[in-house]
Amino acid sequence: MAEAAEEGVQYLNSLDAEKVLKDADEELGLRSITNLFTNDLKKRGEVFNAVLSQFGLTDSPYQNDAEFWSNYKGGLVLGGIMTGAMTALNEGMGAKKAYKTAKFL
């Protein structure tokens, strides 16, 4: 779910990137970096509300935003595939070692 939330945050950040960076001149100063950080935290809350809106618990402006949900679902699938594949690989290697050890004994 973390990857899905991250994709949602990235999509929302892309929607208002100009507003966040407009006070940054040519270099990213402390003020603009702080704005980016606080904006990222705010967007995480908006993603959480959007997910809750799918269960009818809150209202969200992104409730019917097809592109937002496409990004969110893509992150959910990517996170699941990566986690599932790595878990299967590690568990398989561990089982192989355990089998060899048991066979040796």
pTM of the model: 0.56
Residues 6+ apart with CB under 8 A from 10: 71
Sign (positive or negative) of CA dihedral 61, 62, 64, 65? positive
How many other CB atoms are there within 10 angstroms of residue 11's CB atom?
A: 21
Predicted pLDDT of residue 34: 77
Q: Residues 25, 26, 31, CA angle at the centre, nearest 5°? A: 50
CA 39 to chain centroid, in Å, comes to 15
pLDDT in tens, the chain (105 residues): 677 887 888 888 777 776 666 665 555 555 667 777 887 888 888 888 888 888 888 888 888 888 888 888 888 887 777 777 777 777 877 777 777 777 766
Q: Which of 52, 81, 72, 104 is nearest to 7 (CA)?
A: 72
Domain span at residue 49? Answer: 2-104
Structural domains in the chain (count): 1
* pLDDT for position 4: 81
